[in-house]
Structure 1
């Protein structure tokens, strides 16, 4: 019943909002994003839409619905699988229960840098990962950048694993996140994102972990001035189209969509890098201390039990090995 209600609601909302566009376009594809208008992922899909419209002479339009207008990520992924929504932009983390490889490729300290992440996703491994979505009714079009998650706290600069011992950190309700904190000797405290500021302020927790733009926009830098650039998690973002919608397009239009998506990824990554830099400069100017001299070796070694728990098949172990060897 819940699924039916979700599908009907999505249909009514998108039909109403996209009505005008449908009148002038032969095909209108509805694309969902949880982020607000102006966010790099939203602007990326908008750029893709502009290129597709131009190259098809206005035959194909992509209507972007930001700010969770069509639902939260997991709901909109499900709707895209059923073809109620045509496209979705979502984090790999939201695909973990659907496409197992997304959990393996989102493990802590798997990537050396954001450049390393891009090389992995833009190469043969990225193609291999994309191939595992089709059986779930989804066709990946582009990998976007979601930045790197880092630790920040109100107590002290964190430079070593020992500095984390006994500290309380908010994490998302995710088993990998909880196990990561345990392996580092810290205490994971899952809680809603909206409660983090007051919880740090009142000492319920010592800190949290996220990227620079979130650390900045949430105001967390005001109550947790120590930010450690350890880049423990880099979770890819994905733009995918419903297999049902995809198969209605001609091969020529599919190629236009793929090319526009790749071009949009280049723009989105540029916009994300600019937003990260601006947020970093802003929090430093406001008094935050950013610790960059972090030797990640001990942090990586501490993840051994996490990898033992979640990398359990020869295929997964081989994938991790190939990701780490990518230059």
Structure 2
């Protein structure tokens, strides 16, 4: 990536009086996320912390704030953009309001397999393109973590797209997700992740959509006894840094954080598969039934959204084409 310094950002950093020069006490680096301590994202951030402190422990102390301890995603992203929080892990869907390029990940059925998806999100050119306006965005993507595929889970079985009709599901924020639910003829509610359990308990929603971990770590499986593998989206979590912070530190320090992020990515990918297997087993013990559905039926229902989004969001076309090219390459190999 091109992380050249900009005068405007340097001025902002100076105005915030960030203590990154001279012989001073350790600088505390705050890293926030909304997942539980058992989640692969958190374990990955422990590796991030370990790497930074092994290589620059005399300068930086990394403090991790899991499980919304630093606030909701919406609150923390504002703090990060202002330079008050240095790093966070956040779903790409939550970044759409700041830069519409991130909406490419929310396009339903962009990928045909998790192999395609993982190849795309680990491509440095993809992260580079997402970060081209990082000064304006206020955040800089360092690496992407896999979050598997997202499917619907509910209090009643979802076997066909028609079973979604008229039901209310919690979805992630972002215009693309709302568009998807309209194509499915379903109702949507964009409450924060931490509020889903209560909404399910009160009967405000019929279900949600996420990977299998939500059934156990967030206890959604207490209410939703049917998880349908429609695989409608593959949306990564991104480890992003405050642009103000990253542009204010020496190049050698930035390289330490970049390498720490790559190490965190490796740990997160390694942990993901086993975490899903354990979550599925635990969910089954809660009485959750996992349903295999005809994915093509769901894919056809939302197929028009691809053309619609490319028309209304031309800024995603380059990334969309990259994703499709990877899909074509994988198909040729088979």
Which band: TM-score by shorter chain? 0.7 to 0.9
Comparing 297-306 with 99-108, greater Cα deviation is found at 297-306
Q: What displacement does 1:48 show?
A: 0.9
For residues 118-145 of structure 1, give each alpha carbon's deviation from its aligned partner in whole angstroms, at most 9, with x where no partner exists: 2111112233223332432322222122
Q: What TM-score do the two structures reach when normalised by structure 2?
A: 0.79
Aligned to 1:156: 157
Question: For the structure 1 residues 242 and 168, does the alpha-carbon distance in structure 2 shift closer, same or farther, using more than 3 Å as the test?
Answer: closer
Aligned to 1:8: none
Q: What displacement does 1:155 show?
A: 2.8
Aligned to 1:72: 72
* Mapped pair 1:243 → 2:243: yes
Q: Using CA pairs below 8 Å that are at least 6 residues apart, which structure has the higher relative contact order?
A: 2
Q: Is the 8 A contact 2:155 2:223 kept in 1?
A: yes
Runs of 5+ unmatched residues, structure 1: 1-10, 16-21
Q: Is the 8 A contact 1:43 1:268 kept in 2?
A: yes
CA distance in 2, matches of 1:139, 1:208: 29
Q: Is the 8 A contact 2:88 2:240 kept in 1?
A: yes
CA distance in 2, matches of 1:190, 1:254: 35
Aligned to 2:215: 215
Question: Which of 194, 199, 202 is 1:196 aligned to?
Answer: 199
Aligned to 1:139: 140
Alignment RMSD: 2.7
Q: Secondary structure at the match of 1:49?
A: helix
Question: For the structure 1 residues 138 and 168, does the alpha-carbon distance in structure 2 shift closer, same or farther, using more than 3 Å as the test?
Answer: closer
Question: For the structure 1 residues 185 and 242, does the alpha-carbon distance in structure 2 shift closer, same or farther, using more than 3 Å as the test?
Answer: closer
For residues 10-47 of structure 1, give each alpha carbon's deviation from its aligned partner in whole angstroms, at most 9, with x where no partner exists: x9xxx9xxxxxx84x3x332222223334322221221
Aligned to 1:98: 98
For residues 215-255 of structure 1, give each alpha carbon's deviation from its aligned partner in whole angstroms, at most 9, with x where no partner exists: 22344334332211122122211112222221232222222
Runs of 5+ unmatched residues, structure 2: 1-15
Question: For the structure 1 residues 133 and 231, does the alpha-carbon distance in structure 2 shift closer, same or farther, using more than 3 Å as the test?
Answer: farther
Aligned to 2:306: 307
CA distance in 1, matches of 2:242, 2:318: 29
Aligned residues: 301
